[in-house]
């Protein structure tokens, strides 16, 4: 029985290790494509947490933190079709709590970079978005999000 448990644990470690290596490979491939797009289009973007961004409208508002509930408006484009708007949320803000896995990981990394009132453009690798799901006719699509951080409701930090 002990041997079976150890063997199962060993197999799980191998599977997780392989999955991590695949994701790292995909992120590196995605980042190369994003870097090439930025270079060709003469865009100077900042890289942080495997995403790239530009600040379109700076703000002196409060910094977003993990655990905050935020209201955002956004436009979504695919890197391979940057002139085609795929989705928009402009009329009514989208509300969620940062850091609870309710949105793609790219957003979980993006929002804590932003301040309330800021508008930024994020270039997000497919591995931090929808993975191999087809977006605009392409699997592993890297995405562009224009995000406006409209409002932050800070979590209650009292324990």
Residue 158 lies in a domain: no
Range of the domain at 129: 2-153
- Please name the helix (run of DSSP H) or strand (run of DSSP E) that holds residue 145, with its range, or none: strand 143-153
Query: What digits encode the pLDDT tens for the residues 101-144?
Result: 999 999 999 999 999 999 999 999 999 999 999 999 999 999 99
Question: What CATH number corresponds to the domain at position 100?
Answer: 3.10.50.40
d(CA 56, CA 25): 30
Is position 60 within any domain? Answer: yes
d(CA 97, CA 71): 9
Residue 139 lies in a domain: yes
28 in a structural domain: yes
As a whole number of angstroms, the longest Cα–Cα distance in the chain is 61
> How many separate domains does the chain show?
1
Is 62 inside any structural domain?
yes
Query: Taking the model in full, what pTM does it have?
Result: 0.83
Selected residue with higher pLDDT from 7 and 33: 33
What pLDDT is recorded for position 17?
Answer: 47
User: Edge to edge, what strands does the sheet with 69-78 contain?
Assistant: 46-48, 51-57, 119-124, 143-153, 69-78, 87-97
Q: What is the pLDDT of residues 44-67, one digit of tens each?
A: 999 999 999 999 999 999 999 999
Pairing of strands 87-97, 119-124: unpaired
Residue 87 has pLDDT above 50, yes or no: yes
């Amino acid at each position: 029985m002990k041997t079976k448990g150890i063997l199962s644990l060993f197999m799980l470690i191998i599977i997780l290790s392989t999955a991590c290596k695949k994701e790292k490979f995909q992120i590196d491939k995605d980042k190369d494509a994003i870097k090439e797009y930025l270079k060709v289009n003469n865009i100077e973007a900042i890289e942080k947490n495997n995403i790239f961004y530009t600040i379109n409208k700076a703000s002196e508002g409060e910094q977003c933190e993990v655990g905050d509930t935020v209201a955002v408006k956004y436009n979504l484009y695919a890197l391979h079709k940057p002139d085609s708007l795929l989705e928009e949320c402009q009329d009514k803000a989208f509300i969620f709590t940062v850091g609870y896995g309710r949105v793609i990981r790219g957003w979980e990394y993006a929002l804590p970079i932003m301040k309330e009132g800021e508008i930024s453009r994020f270039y997000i690798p497919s591995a931090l978005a929808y993975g191999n799901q087809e977006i605009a006719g392409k699997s592993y699509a890297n995405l562009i999000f224009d995000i406006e951080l409209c409002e932050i409701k800070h979590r209650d930090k009292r324990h």
